């Protein structure tokens, strides 16, 4: 990839000394360590970086900004040299970036075109990027501008639901409709792509032990579900939390989340985080009641 020109960077307000670059695979461990150092803010990108390190070939890219002058010539990249990252695959994920450093990545985004399905991360970084990209890109399906990033570092408050357990392959036919309902309710449209592909995704989550669910014993109906969607070091991010509408208002979500936190801790992840739409008052109330506190604000652009 050609280095972006000084003229283009200066036009974007990026100092000449701050140039983003495409990382080689040998630098991925340093990038992963940088994600580890950021706690909740680095979990999603760190999870994908870890997958890229272990895979023979990675479909994603990692772009990096270094602290000017922090790395002596010829020294191998270390996490402390990094100022901000961008994970670029199906989604764009600014990591450790703010409204200023995020704009340094714009030439690289523009070089690759509007091929991304979403952009998610720190709200200020996403806003700065989207303000520059929006005039030339198609209108987004949705732009969630304020999503509290919440975390908990201990056991959840309250009793855990003993019926919330890792889903097993024989539950797949019941779990898939619940996952589709959650996706549609959360995003406003059904999962894209062929139904078989989404079913395979759910089956993979079950196979990795990452999907937890409570089934009604008498009917087998899915009452509650959640996924350990991404992990990075001691951290795990919970995604896809859903309570069957017929069972809402009974405290099931709170007891279910306490069980999810307990399961994560049993798996060695003693720091649990998630992000949620600011307008989802019932979900926010549940997370706060369990013991989550807000540690940042994210945003998501769905393209």
Domain count for the chain: 2
Question: Are 37 and 126 within one domain?
Answer: yes
Q: Tokens standing for 132? A: 């520059």
Q: Per the domain annotation, does 106 fall within a domain?
A: yes
Rounded Cα gap, residues 202 and 210, in angstroms: 10
Assess if residue 124 is contained within a domain.
yes
Domain assignment present for 77: yes
User: Whole-angstrom Cα distance, residue 151 to residue 131?
Assistant: 28
pLDDT above 70 (res 295): yes
201-223: pLDDT as tens digits: 999 999 999 999 999 999 999 99
Residues 169 and 128 in one domain: no
Arithmetic mean of pLDDT, 76-93: 94
In a domain, 187, yes or no: yes
Residue 18, pLDDT score: 61
CA–CA gap between residue 231 and residue 243 (Å, rounded) = 23
Please give the structure tokens belonging to residue 121.
Answer: 């991360």
| Partners of residue 144 on adjacent β-strands | 300
Q: Let me know whether 220 and 278 are in one domain.
A: yes
Q: Is 54 within the bounds of a domain?
A: yes
Cα distance between residue 74 and residue 63, in whole Å: 19
How confident is the model over 131-181, as pLDDT tens digits? 999 999 999 999 999 999 999 999 999 999 999 999 999 999 999 999 999
The answer on 225 and 283 residing in a single domain is: yes
**Surface-to-core class of residue 73, CB atoms within 10 Å of its CB (0-12 exposed, 13-18 middle, 19+ buried):** exposed
**Domain termination residue (choose one: 138, 173, 195):** 138
pLDDT of 4: 43
Compute and round to an integer the Cα radius of gyration of the chain.
20
Q: Cα separations (Å) of 78 from 41, 71, 74, 85, 232?
A: 19, 8, 12, 13, 18
CATH number at residue 88: 3.40.630
pTM of the model: 0.90
Q: Which CATH number does the domain housing residue 261 bear?
A: 3.40.630.30
Q: Which residues pair with 298 in a beta bridge?
A: 122, 147
pLDDT category, 77, cuts 50, 70, 90?
Answer: very high
User: Encoding tokens for residue 28?
Assistant: 């991925």
Q: Are residues 278 and 223 in the same domain?
A: yes
28-45 in b/e form (b: 16+ CB < 10 A) is bbbbbbbbbebbbbbbbb
How much is the mean pLDDT over the chain?
Answer: 91
- 184/273 same-domain check: yes
Q: What is the DSSP letter of 192?
A: P
Is there a single domain that holds both residue 127 and residue 188?
no
Same domain, 181 and 117: no
From CA 150, how far away is CA 133, in angstroms rounded? 28
Structural domain contains residue 154: no
Residues 286 and 173 in one domain: yes
Is 219 part of any domain? yes
Q: Are 49 and 36 in contact (CB under 8 A)?
A: no
Does 236 map to a domain?
yes
Dist CA 33 CA 28 (whole Å): 9
Domain residue limits at 285: 165-297
Same domain, 114 and 177: no
What pLDDT, on a 0 to 100 scale, did the predictor assign at position 5? 43
Note whether 195 and 202 are within 8 A (CB): no
Torsion sign across C-alpha atoms 102, 104, 108, 111: positive
My answer on whether 178 and 60 are in the same domain is no
C-beta neighbour count of 246 within 10 angstroms: 9
């Amino acid at each position: 990839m050609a280095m972006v020109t000084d003229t283009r960077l200066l036009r974007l307000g990026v100092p000449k000394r701050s140039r983003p670059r495409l990382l080689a695979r040998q630098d991925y461990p340093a990038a992963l360590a940088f994600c580890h150092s950021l706690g909740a803010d680095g979990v999603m990108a760190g999870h994908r970086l870890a997958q890229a390190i272990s895979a023979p070939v990675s479909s994603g890219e990692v772009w990096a900004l270094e602290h000017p002058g922090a790395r002596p010539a010829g020294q191998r990249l270390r996490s402390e040299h990094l100022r901000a990252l961008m994970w670029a695959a199906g989604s764009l994920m600014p990591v450790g970036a703010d409204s200023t450093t995020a704009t340094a990545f714009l030439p690289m985004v523009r070089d690759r075109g509007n091929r991304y399905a979403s952009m998610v991360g720190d709200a200020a970084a996403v806003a700065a990027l989207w303000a520059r990209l929006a005039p030339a890109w198609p209108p987004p399906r949705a732009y969630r501008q304020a999503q509290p990033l919440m975390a908990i570092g201990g056991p959840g408050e309250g009793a855990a639901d003993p019926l919330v357990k890792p889903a097993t392959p024989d539950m797949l036919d019941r779990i898939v409709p619940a996952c589709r309902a959650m996706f549609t309710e959360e995003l406003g449209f059904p999962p894209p792509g062929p139904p078989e592909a989404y079913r395979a995704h759910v089956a993979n989550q079950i196979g990795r032990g990452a999907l937890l669910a409570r089934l009604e014993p008498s009917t087998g109906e899915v009452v509650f579900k959640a996924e350990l969607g991404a992990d990075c070091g001691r951290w795990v991010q919970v995604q896809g939390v859903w309570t069957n509408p017929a069972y809402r208002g009974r405290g099931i979500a709170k007891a279910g989340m306490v069980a999810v936190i307990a399961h994560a801790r049993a798996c060695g992840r003693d720091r649990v985080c998630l992000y949620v739409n600011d307008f989802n008052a019932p979900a926010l109330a549940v997370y706060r009641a369990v013991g989550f506190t807000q540690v940042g604000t994210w945003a998501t652009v769905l393209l």
